[in-house]
Amino acid sequence: MSISVKHFLKKKIDVELTPRQKYIRFLGIKRLALAKFILGKYARKKPKNNVVFVVAICIALHEKRRFSEHTLVNQAVECLKKTNNQKTVAFGNYVLRRILTDLNLFSYEAKYEEIKWNAPLWWIEYLKQQVRDVHLRKLLLRSLSNHPPLNLRLNNQKKQTEVVVELKKFNRKLLQVSSHGLSVIPPLDIVQTSVFKKGLVSVQDISSQQIIDLVEPRSDEKVLDICAAPGGKSLAIATNIKCQLFSNDKSKVRLQMFEREINRIKEQLVTVPKITCFNPLDSKQLDCLFSLTSGGFDYIILDAPCSGSGLQRRHPEIPWTKTRQQLEKMLVIQSKLLDASWKILKNRGILIYCICSIFYNEGEGQVVEFQKRTKNVNRKSAPGLIYPTVGKQYFSDNDIFNKLDSNELKYIGNDGFFYAILEK
Ligand SMILES: C[S@@+](CC[C@H](N)C(=O)[O-])C[C@H]1O[C@@H](n2cnc3c(N)ncnc32)[C@H](O)[C@@H]1O
């Protein structure tokens, strides 16, 4: 309960929180819609954000049955006292006592869409426009109610045994979930392990790891990861494929995160990426990128900024921190980045467009529009839309299920993603 409530929804604060605090914050955000709804029943005017967040955390911990109601209320009141006047604290105290003894508390989920999706109404409406298939929406909803999986990328296949031996010491089960990926069941704080410190593994979802199988450059070919920070895709390539890799991002701050990650895993790299900081939407800076080649890049990966709708299970704050206007703006940026990337791709070069979103407009819609306005695009076969899955939806191999019980199955799956491959 010592999380500073004013930072509740801010992603950046994560570096300052302990893993336990991060987890509590995560659980609280997952109950934000329910907290808002309940407070709406008791308050005459809109409650302050910090009250909503404290109530959300209390509901989440109550649901997990980790503490008695008495402890939760006392801790919450102490927390509210730090930033609120007496009247607000008394109100919080009153509401929490009522809520935590309300036997119907979790049944509101079945009745109200906002609580079911844990998102504001505008997001749910948008999601329904963008994800038309009702069956897929059900899959998505199911994934949201589960804990996100911990999927690792092996940075050195030869050291797989060392990784497995170390993680088994933590009483974990490990599953090979892709050519380079291991799933850790149940998840643990991987940062504390020696294999993480040595750079033998990185945290990366299986959907994102697929990039390794989609690029096949020769060692002398030039690959540009044009929106590269904090480096997930670039480093998946750099640990597996020999090539001339350029990793660009317009954000210096995010590139610093990338450099820290390179430093951690540097001994496992088969290619050392050259880092650049240009904004491809500025024509002069785009020229600078082009001048790194003679006649254009052989491959460009455009992992564009997006809504992040494929990651909602992992980052439940996503619907609460975005606005409809931001999503519209993002569409414009994505289409401009597609056009800019195309200009510096050589003839017969390959552009891989990807996003961690499951919204039509950002994925398939963006590619369809690009093909309408651009000549000489040959669309090649690619994974397309990848749905977030959980448990049995993920694997078709029954053997794997035999190794896990139903509780453990909840911890496997993948994030939502989209890939298109376009040849010039
Ligand atoms: C989805 S993230 C990339 C994630 C990264 N590829 C990875 O796998 O770790 C999108 C990135 O695009 C960058 N970005 C946004 N606008 C950009 C622009 N105009 N030019 C280059 N990068 C941009 C952001 O700074 C952000 O780092």
* Residue 208: CATH number of its domain: 3.40.50.150
In the listed set 114, 138, 162, which residue is the last one of a domain according to the structure? 114
Residues 93 and 164 in one domain: no
Distance 68 CA to ligand 1 centre (A): 44
- Residue stretches of the chain with pLDDT short of 50: 1-6
Residues 308 and 383 in one domain: yes
For residue 149, the 8-state DSSP code is P
* Closest C-alpha to ligand 1, atom 25: 251
Is residue 137 a part of any domain in this protein? no
Ligand 1 atom closest to Cα of residue 228: 6
Distance 337 CA to ligand 1 centre (A): 10
Token pair belonging to 180: 């380079």
Distance CA 98, CA 90 (A): 13
* Closest C-alpha to ligand 1, atom 14: 227
* Closest C-alpha to ligand 1, atom 12: 227
In the listed set 114, 136, 169, which residue is the last one of a domain according to the structure? 114
Residues 102 and 162 in one domain: no
pLDDT at 257: 95
Ligand 1 atom closest to Cα of residue 211: 8
Residue with tokens 């509210």: 80
Is residue 138 a part of any domain in this protein? no
Is residue 127 a part of any domain in this protein? no
Ligand 1 atom closest to Cα of residue 254: 27
The residue segments making up the domain with residue 398 are 151-423
Distance CA 113, CA 33 (A): 9
pLDDT at 45: 83
pLDDT at 300: 98
Q: Do residues 193 and 166 make contact, with C-beta atoms less than 8 angstroms apart?
A: yes
- Does residue 279 have its Cβ closer than 6 Å to ligand 1? yes
Sequential DSSP letters for 377-393: -EEEEEEEEE--EEGGG
- Burial status of residue 12 (CB atoms within 10 A of its CB: 0-12, 13-18, 19 or more): exposed
pLDDT tens readout for residues 366-384: 999 999 999 999 999 999 9
Distance 152 CA to ligand 1 centre (A): 21
The model's pTM is 0.93
- What's the Cα-to-Cα distance from 329 to each of 144, 193, 335, rounded to whole Å? 26, 40, 10
Residues 262 and 314 in one domain: yes
Ligand 1 pocket test: which of 153, 211, 224, 227 has the largest number of ligand atoms within 8 Å of its C-beta? 227
Number of domains in the chain: 2
pLDDT at 411: 87
